[in-house]
Amino acid sequence: MELLKFEKGRKGVVGMKLLEERIRRDGIIEAGEVLKVDSFLNHQMDVQLYREMGREWRRLFDGAEITKILTIEASGIGIACVAALEFGVPVIFAKKSKTKNIAGEVYSTTVTSFTHGNVSTVIVSKKFLHPGDRVLLIDDFLANGAAMLGLIDIVRQSGAELVGCGIAIEKAFQPGGARLREMGIRVESLARVSKLEDGLIEFID
């Protein structure tokens, strides 16, 4: 296991640092402020790294009495499921849907992708989110915040309480993180990228 070898020489490197080091090592910076992490985060998935990320969120949200983790398909699902093992709670994933909420059985919202320039509808069955639930949102990336805003809308519709957002990589030079924090939402990003250009990457400590 790559990660285990990596950890051996790096005692005490946990949580944010572990992910930052992995991004420095295996992330690929492409034109247009694109950070490709498909070798370990969102195409091939290093589940041991996910476990360390889950443990870090568990530590950060200690005492928050989370009852459900909510994510969005597709690349948030794996991270959320492995993290959920640390919290001992179920995961719900918002599904992309071609139909609007007709039967009234689902919470429905729209997510505008700035990357792909399209608007999609995502749904969550009303059976799985209720008042009394305390919800942690988890996703792989936070850039403009579109996915998070959609999930926040679903939590609001359900009457559940939003505890916060657990993000793997925040592109802090894009407005999503600031937007959420201005709304009073707790955002815990394990790696915050402040700059991404000319093959160089900088993190906020």
Interface residues with a copy of itself (CB under 8 A) are 1, 38-40, 43-48, 50-51, 73-74, 77-82, 84-85, 88, 90-93, 95, 124-125, 127-128
Alpha carbon distance 15, 65 (integer Å): 21
Smaller CB separation from a copy of itself, 125 or 194: 125
Smaller CB separation from a copy of itself, 84 or 148: 84
Cα pseudo-dihedral 38, 42, 48, 49, rounded to 10: 80
The closest alpha carbon to 38, from 169, 197, 189, belongs to 169
- Considering the complex, what minimum distance in angstroms separates the CB of residue 10 from a copy of itself? 19
- Considering the complex, what minimum distance in angstroms separates the CB of residue 29 from a copy of itself? 16
Alpha carbon distance 65, 162 (integer Å): 11
CA atoms within 13 Å, Cβ hemisphere of 121: 10
Smaller CB separation from a copy of itself, 24 or 36: 36
- Considering the complex, what minimum distance in angstroms separates the CB of residue 201 from a copy of itself? 20
- Considering the complex, what minimum distance in angstroms separates the CB of residue 202 from a copy of itself? 26
Backbone angles phi, psi at 137, to 5 degrees: -90, 140
- Considering the complex, what minimum distance in angstroms separates the CB of residue 92 from a copy of itself? 5
Smaller CB separation from a copy of itself, 26 or 173: 26
At 150, the amino acid letter reads: G
Give the angle subtended at the CA of 197 by the CAs of 194 and 203, to the nearest 5°: 25
Report how far apart, in Å, the C-alpha atoms of 154 and of each of 3, 94, 169 are: 35, 9, 22
Smaller CB separation from a copy of itself, 89 or 167: 89
